[in-house]
């Protein structure tokens, strides 16, 4: 990233030497994110002062040995945007980091333990930074591909019945056709809220204190609901009101630490549905929202001035698909005869561990992204 910025500085300096020299002093009077702020930062960090705003030789020598500038858009005149090219996860993802995070994504996406929480926590051990919501969303395309393939027969039947009911060749109250409508309608809340609060989701809500609180707090909620649940209703009895309610509950997964599967499964259990039925509907309900979010972030990352690290991203996505497929098969068998208590204990323990690591300074609540 430093080399890209330097090339931009050199190009601008070569094109406009007179304008740069003439405007240099005026630029240094800026007090926001302009040259004045930049000069203050580099003087404090390096101990000396450049000859001017675009003293390229000074910048080149300083950048080779100096620490990074404090996180801010220090190059407002060169087009280096913090929301795009500065996005660390899309630019500097390494192969080992991608391998580990791909495994984590595959293992945690469908278990009620929050994949986004695990991505944020483990990502900090690779350079002390969160891989970001964009990386998480793109790798979720791998795990959702596993859902589509695993439930391909169910999905085909739902799409076929929904289409036939739409053109009047099947009753509109057909269970599979109704399930199709419920998945569509249930996906609306998370899409609307995700777009409305996109900035908070990408930044503020990824605070690890929030994540730790959600891991433990929502884990206790899952445990209580699982203990008192009737575990009786099949998925075929899902009503319009229940489907919409579960769509709203799924929106809680926008907060790292809640867990998409954990939220919808807990909601289904609270309404009296069987564990397997709640888990299956959770997987189906996630498809439109997760695929849509992944494609949106994929297009957003593709438009960055600095090309993302596509190789590691693809590796993580493929790994998450393979592991995610195995996890789906295992979880459906497990919940047919077991409670969610082991996951509740794990969530509470992980939440406590994250809090300890935050207090001791091992982890940062909001590292640079």
pLDDT-derived band of residue 320, with 50, 70 and 90 as boundaries?
very high
Q: What is the pTM of this model?
A: 0.72
How far is C-alpha 39 from the geometric centre of its chain's CA atoms?
35
Furthest C-alpha separation in the chain: 79
- Which residue's entry shows tokens 């693809």? 314
Tokens of residue 208, six digits: 């690890």
Residue 311 makes CB contacts below 8 A (sequence gap 6+) with 95, 98
Reported as half-sphere exposure (CB side, CA atoms, 13 A), residue 286 has a value of: 31
CA distance linking residue 122 with residue 75, whole number of Å: 30
Average pLDDT taken over every residue of the chain = 79
Answer yes or no: are the C-beta atoms of 142 and 101 closer than 8 Å: no
Nearest C-alpha neighbor of 224 from the set 269, 256, 254, 192: 269
Tokens of residue 59, six digits: 């910048």
Per-residue pLDDT, 8? 53
Cross-strand partners of 321: none
- Going from the C-alpha of 6 to that of each of 18, 41, 69, 86, the distances in angstroms are 19, 17, 14, 14
Is the pLDDT at 280 greater than 80, yes or no?
yes
* Count of beta carbons in the 10 Å neighbourhood of residue 355: 18
pLDDT-derived band of residue 296, with 50, 70 and 90 as boundaries?
confident
CA distance linking residue 27 with residue 250, whole number of Å: 49
Where helices occur in the chain by DSSP H, the ranges are 2-15, 17-27, 35-46, 56-65, 88-91, 95-108, 115-123, 133-150, 152-166, 175-196, 198-202, 208-228, 240-250, 260-270, 275-302, 310-335, 341-359
Residues 124-139 have pLDDT tens digits of: 888 766 676 678 888 9
Point out the least confidently predicted range of 40-49, 305-314, 354-363. 40-49
Per-residue pLDDT, 172? 85
- Which residue's entry shows tokens 């051990």? 125
Residues 8-44 have pLDDT tens digits of: 545 545 554 444 444 444 434 444 444 444 444 444 4
Mean pLDDT of 199-218: 90
Per-residue pLDDT, 10? 53
Answer yes or no: are the C-beta atoms of 52 and 36 closer than 8 Å: no
Mean pLDDT of 150-178: 93
Torsion of CA 116, 117, 119, 120, to 10 degrees: 120
DSSP 92: S
Is the pLDDT at 237 greater than 80, yes or no?
yes
């Amino acid at each position: 990233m430093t080399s890209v910025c330097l090339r931009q500085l050199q190009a601008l300096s070569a094109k406009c030497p007179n304008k740069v020299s003439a405007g240099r002093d005026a630029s240094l009077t800026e007090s926001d994110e302009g040259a004045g702020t930049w000069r203050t930062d580099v003087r404090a960090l390096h101990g000396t002062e450049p000859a001017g705003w675009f003293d390229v030789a000074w910048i080149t020598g300083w950048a080779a040995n100096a620490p990074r500038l404090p996180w801010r858009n220090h190059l407002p005149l060169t087009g280096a945007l913090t929301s795009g090219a500065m996005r660390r996860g899309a630019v500097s993802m390494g192969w080992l980091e991608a391998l580990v995070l791909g495994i984590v994504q595959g293992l945690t996406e469908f278990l009620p333990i929050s994949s986004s929480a695990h991505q944020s926590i483990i990502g900090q051990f690779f350079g002390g930074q969160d891989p970001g919501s964009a990386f998480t969303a793109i790798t979720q395309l791998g795990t959702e591909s596993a859902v589509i393939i695993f439930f391909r027969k169910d999905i085909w039947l739902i799409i076929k019945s929904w289409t036939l009911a739409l053109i009047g060749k099947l009753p509109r109250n057909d269970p599979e056709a109704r399930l199709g409508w419920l998945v569509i309608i249930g996906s609306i809340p998370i899409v609307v809220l995700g777009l409305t609060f996109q900035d908070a989701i990408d930044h503020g809500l990824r605070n690890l204190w929030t994540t730790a609180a959600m891991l433990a707090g929502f884990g206790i909620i899952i445990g209580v609901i699982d203990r008192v649940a009737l575990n009786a209703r099949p998925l075929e009895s899902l009503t319009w009101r229940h489907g919409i309610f579960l769509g709203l509950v799924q929106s809680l997964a926008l907060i790292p630490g809640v867990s998409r599967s954990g939220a919808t499964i807990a909601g289904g259990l609270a309404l009296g549905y069987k564990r397997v039925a709640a888990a299956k509907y959770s997987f189906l309900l996630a498809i439109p929202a997760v695929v849509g979010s992944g494609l949106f972030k994929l297009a957003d990352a593709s438009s960055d001035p600095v090309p993302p690290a596509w190789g590691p991203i693809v590796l993580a996505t493929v790994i998450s698909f393979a592991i995610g497929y195995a996890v789906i098969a295992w979880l459906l068998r497990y919940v047919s005869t077991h409670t969610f208590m082991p996951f509740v204990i794990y969530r509470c323990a992980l939440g406590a561990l994250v809090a300890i690591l935050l207090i001791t300074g091992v982890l940062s609540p909001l590292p640079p992204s």
